[in-house]
Structure 1
């Protein structure tokens, strides 16, 4: 386990790369809303209020009238115009997380219109069966397919949005219904999603996002454990490459913690610490066949995942239970979630939410 001071230092490495306009970029230089929010969450845990507020102001400035954000922005200018559903949904997770940590109701109330617009954009992309397609393109046309990782993250976003609405006296029952239907599809209809099974995120994200828990979640994790976990190093990003990545490893830590598997969660978290740099930042990954960091970069989103995992394991903040506590109640019950009579098969980046 890293100490509280080490976690703060890691969050400060995120603040060090934050741009003047508030955006937190990938090493390549672009900003997307999902990874940006994750970085804000990590800095919130560390109490870095100034960078966090600049980051949420960035989100407010760049949200479009339909509730979405451009897929990629460089210097505040959109370089890819499509709007990803999981990018929009994760803003609700960030705002709920901020409220849990700070209790700042004024901030939550000011952020609520942004969250409402974002989640209404998301549910507008839900199919009759219940999955949510991954984007609208620059012309406004909805994609023809859904991604399992993205939808798993969306499920958490919808649950957090429902909690925010209830807190603020503005309930959104259509989001709750959308989350129930989505949870059912995630748990019972793998055919609803494009096949990206070589990516580890498609393995554990239904657990991480709260749609699959309990015995079903434990069985899901066991199914591919030997495929992705490299003892002593972390987990593979993709099944067919000798490459472990820090962000994916820490997300699996969060999923294991949510299942109550504290021992393996702690062991995996310790295993990935070889990626820690002396300044508190983290290398993105390690190519263990060649014995080299790959790519040769230290990424803010990896640092953010580390801080969130450390928080979950060590209970560093009042939001340490975020991934444990936000879960569906009707994922596998068609009668409860109203999915019993939905049609079966429908036509059908990086496959996961960092596509």
Structure 2
């Protein structure tokens, strides 16, 4: 299979080396921790598995999804944090749980393996049904809950009734991918599509529903990345805070007031720009963050540019994964290269078309 490559940014051999570096961090159980010996969370685990698929490491990717299938709890959730197989935070994060749908759909797009899709269907269905319990009447999703969740007869009991833009924007994409999985298997889920539409409306039209986290770059670009905001409105949103976060030749800040650029956020912004059609700037951002690359193909998490020190001092699995996913999207290489561009939902397309 073809491997992503971008002239003067990343060669195919370098991309394969990054895939090897991610696979080297994988535990025997299939878990993909932040770094060897570190914590595993269900969202970053899936993102790392996606990069394995892009680099042709299908056995390792499917081992990661098997870990997700095997460790899913009866209610459809996963613990927020596991360390070397030991649960260290048993509670539930709605966004973390939803993201398995993105990974499963992504792997299917690359492999075309219906048996894989069928095997993972109960996992996706269980996760999405669990996540729907977090949706408020006004469309947003509460972000976390104590485990175990109370019965459906007591909705939202035990939940942290706060909604975060980043997590909700990611759930928007997850719901869209879950709908695609269901339709591919001939099991359409209208309630999932309705939930996505309600969430998209909340993200576009009701900012008051979400806890303000405006100092974080993810809250800035994630509505675009997750597909809730696109077109001219998306371009305006990105332009509003470009100079607050983008550091020339280095990448983007994680937090607007700190001299710290992070590789994963830079790659995610590149993905958002690509989804808006601004592929040249997306490629430039990917090039800017290559100073974080290690000779073994892995990527350091970030750089404090005020003193030139890497921080934290770790090569994170998910940072390497974000690089691979951005390279695939920009280079249009694998059959799954458009998974972020395609996160734009139908009502967003219709809305922009009608307002044009």
Q: Whole-Å Cα distance in 1 between the matches of residues 349 and 60 of structure 2?
A: 40
| TM-aligned CA deviation for residue 330 of structure 1 | 2.3
| 1:51 paired to 2:68 | no
Aligned residue for 1:14?
A: 22
> How far apart are the structure 1 equivalents of 2:20 and 2:207?
39
> 1-side partners of 2:280 and 2:220: how far apart?
20
Check the 8 A contact 1:180/1:331 in 2, yes or no. no
Verify the 8 A CA contact 1:187 1:332 in the aligned structure 2: no
Deviations along 1:191-230, one digit per CA (max 9) or x if unpaired, are: 1111111110000000000000001111100011000000
**In structure 2, what is the Cα distance between the partners aligned to 1:274 and 1:257?**
21
Aligned residue number for residue 221 of structure 1: 238
**Are 2:340 and 1:301 equivalent residues in the alignment?**
no
Q: Counterparts in 2 of 1:193-272, with a 5 A limit?
A: 193-272=210-289
- CA distance, structure 2, for counterparts of residue 333 and residue 139 of structure 1: 40
Give the 5 Å matches for 1:109-258.
109-140=118-149, 141-258=158-275
Aligned-partner Cα distance in 2 for 1:327–1:137: 31
Superposed CA RMSD in Å reads 1.3
- 2 CA distance for matches of 1:332 and 1:20? 43
CA contact under 8 A between 1:184 and 1:330: conserved in structure 2? no
Instruction: Provide the secondary structure at the position in 1 that maps to 2:333.
Output: coil
Aligned to 1:283: 300
Match of 1:320 in 2: 337
* 4+ runs deviating over 4 angstroms: 331-334
**Partner in structure 1 of residue 113 of structure 2:** 104
Aligned to 1:74: 83
Is the CA contact (8 Å cut-off) linking 1:8 and 1:46 kept in structure 2? Answer: yes
TM-score, normalised with respect to structure 1: 0.92
| 2:42 aligns with one of 29, 33, 48 | 33
Q: Scaled by the length of structure 2, what TM-score is found?
A: 0.92
Output the CA distance in 2 between the equivalents of 1:308 and 1:128.
Answer: 34
Shift of 1:293: 0.6
Check conservation: 1:4, 1:316, Cα contact below 8 A: no
For 1:261 and 1:114, locate their aligned partners in 2 and report how far apart those are by CA, in whole Å. Answer: 35
**Contact 1:90-1:157 within 8 A present in 2 as well:** yes
Structure-2 separation of matches of 1:79 and 1:332: 42
CA 1:332–1:2 in 2, change beyond 3 Å: closer, same or farther? closer
| 2:159 alignment partner, SS class | coil
Compared with structure 1, are the counterparts of its residues 168 and 217 closer, same or farther at alpha carbon in structure 2 (3 Å cutoff)? same
CA offset at residue 90 of structure 1?
A: 0.5
Secondary structure at 2:345's aligned position in 1? coil
**Is there any run of 5+ residues in structure 2 with no aligned partner, and where?**
1-8, 150-157, 352-356
Please state how far the C-alpha of 1:315 moved relative to its aligned partner. 1.8
Q: CA deviation at 1:77?
A: 2.0
